[in-house]
Amino acid sequence: MTRVKHDLILRIIKTLDAVLITVPFALCWYLYYTKHIASPFYAKGDYLVVALFFVLFIIFGRVYDAFLMSMQRISEIVYAQFLAAAVSDFIMYIVIWLLSKHLPNILPGVAALIGQVILAAVWAYNANHAYFKIFPPQATAVIYDIRQGMEKLIGKYGLDDKYKVVLTATADECIANLAMLDGVSTVFMSGIHSHDRNVILKYCVENNIGTFVIPRIGDTIMSGAYPMHMFHLPMLKVGRYHPQPEYLFIKRLLDIVISAVALVVLSPIFLITAISIKATDHGPVFYKQIRLTKDGKEFGILKFRSMRVDAEKDGVARLSSGDHDDRITPVGKVIRACRIDELPQLVNILKGELSIVGPRPERPEIAAQYCGEMPEFSLRLQAKAGLTGYAQIYGKYNTTPYDKLVMDLMYIAHPSIVEDLKIMFATVKILFMPESIEGISEGQTTAMSGENN
């Protein structure tokens, strides 16, 4: 089957999903809300409202990866679809509120959401099974140099039904005989130096072989290059992180508005958490720790205390070992699992010490250790640190420092309000996903270890 036909079938299946999820909202709108808004619409207005929901669901479906029927478990697809539908329904509820004389009844909207979740589950199950019935596993090659174990990750994440690894070879072996790639439809390149990678990549493009490349630090820096012409030659201008003033202004405005509103809305959670921490061991409620932000500037990050008061009595800074760390208090385990321990950082955001989105701030002592192993780690300090970030959304709690650095540099290379908003919304997805905080397994450690450039 050609790649064009493959993509067309996928687009049809995904569009069918968006239509199915729109149906409960449309019924809710036509059967209830049209009769209770201030100025009932005629047909065209009704069509526009339903179309708005359709578009919103597609947008947030992409944010939450709700359409990846072949890349995720069915439960993950349903969860992502639920989030996309819930956010879209909420926005439409606000729109309906603005059109009404009073706060509209939310129950019809809740009923629509329940119907959407049921349809999402039906679609996810059938789409997932239909995909693997229509499309056989792709013959796949894994070409590696420093980083090994990609074939183990394919199996670990349940993607062996999509990618059937028929060839594993080193970059040197592949370059010596590029014809070994003939017959495969997908290639994964892992930890290959730029010269060797480019030779293989050009061969793959020439022969219409889909290619996945794990980027290196230099790749992420180059991805933010500005294309231009000079001396009648094509040029790529590369420089330090220097976003437009308008971007920085809007980003700071969003930080102030969102953090202020969140502090007010979440104040009951603050109160309950503070009482629980105090009642557990009578120690301080908050914990202040020195972290690094833009250009290496130090600031005191504020958190709810989740560990014993004497957690670092020897004065040595050390990372948490996860849920099994015996320094974590009973209340600490709960607030860490729900990310509540991070909420006081809204104060840091309001003060301008932190942003909502940006590379996570690291402790000076630990940052110094990382810089000793890979000097490029300091490149994270080009941008203001954030409460959430690219590495937090797409990485895991113990993702290696090298890979977190690459993710952060991918964010820094493309400053955008749209990207910031996407990360904010995507953060909601990981709040209730234990996979986002679990440690790296033995197989992942091999495949995702750092390397020198």
Q: Point out which residues pair with 143 in neighbouring strands.
A: 169, 189
Q: Which residue has the tokens 């996945």?
A: 212
Neighbour tally for 48: CB within 10 Å: 10
Give the H/E segment covering residue 391: helix 390-394
pLDDT confidence of residue 111: 94
Residue 189: inside a domain: yes
CA distances from 359 to 29, 134, 248, 381 (A): 41, 41, 15, 8
Residue 116: inside a domain: yes
Judge if 405 and 257 occupy the same domain.
yes
Judge if 288 and 329 occupy the same domain.
yes
The three-point CA angle 424-426-427 to 5° equals: 65
Judge if 16 and 94 occupy the same domain.
yes
Residue 50: inside a domain: yes
Spatial distance between the Cα atoms of 378 and 387, rounded to a whole number of angstroms: 18
Among 168, 196, 214, identify where a domain stops: 214
CA distances from 350 to 180, 254, 267, 338 (A): 57, 10, 15, 22
Residue 54: inside a domain: yes
Helices 3-31 and 74-99, axial angle in degrees (round to 10):
40
pLDDT confidence of residue 429: 80
Mark out the alpha helices in 170-290 (DSSP H runs): 171-176, 194-206, 217-223, 245-265, 267-281
Closest CA to 142 of 193, 184, 195: 184
Judge if 176 and 299 occupy the same domain.
no
pLDDT confidence of residue 310: 65
Q: Which residue range is the domain that position 124 belongs to?
A: 3-134
Judge if 43 and 82 occupy the same domain.
yes
Spatial distance between the Cα atoms of 287 and 259, rounded to a whole number of angstroms: 19
Judge if 284 and 203 occupy the same domain.
no
> For 100, which DSSP code?
S
Judge if 280 and 429 occupy the same domain.
yes
Judge if 428 and 296 occupy the same domain.
yes
The three-point CA angle 117-120-121 to 5° equals: 90
Asked if residue 342 lies in contact with residue 417, where contact means CB atoms within 8 angstroms, the answer is: no
Residue 43: inside a domain: yes
Residue 342: inside a domain: yes
Judge if 282 and 423 occupy the same domain.
yes
Asked if residue 104 lies in contact with residue 97, where contact means CB atoms within 8 angstroms, the answer is: yes
Judge if 128 and 153 occupy the same domain.
no
Residue 235: inside a domain: no
Q: Point out which residues pair with 433 in neighbouring strands.
A: none
Among 87, 119, 134, identify where a domain stops: 134
- Domain containing 182 — which CATH number? 3.40.50.2300
What pTM, to 2 d.p., does this model score? Answer: 0.75
Judge if 278 and 181 occupy the same domain.
no
Residue 117: inside a domain: yes
Q: Where are the beta strands (DSSP E) in 72-153?
A: 138-144
Asked if residue 414 lies in contact with residue 389, where contact means CB atoms within 8 angstroms, the answer is: no
Each residue's pLDDT, cut to its tens digit, for the chain (453 residues) gives: 567 777 888 888 899 999 999 999 999 998 888 877 756 666 777 888 899 999 999 999 998 888 888 888 888 899 999 999 999 999 999 988 888 878 888 999 999 999 999 999 999 999 888 888 888 888 999 998 877 778 888 877 778 888 888 988 998 999 999 999 998 989 999 888 888 889 999 999 999 888 998 888 888 888 888 888 888 888 888 888 888 899 999 999 999 999 999 999 999 998 998 898 888 887 888 888 899 999 889 999 999 888 877 656 555 555 554 556 667 788 878 878 778 888 999 999 999 999 999 998 989 888 888 888 888 888 888 989 999 888 888 877 667 788 888 889 988 988 889 989 989 888 888 776 655 444 333 333 333 333 433
Among 85, 117, 134, identify where a domain stops: 134
Q: For the chain, how many structural domains are there in total? A: 3
The three-point CA angle 350-287-259 to 5° equals: 20
Judge if 125 and 65 occupy the same domain.
yes
Joined tokens for residue 231: 């001396």
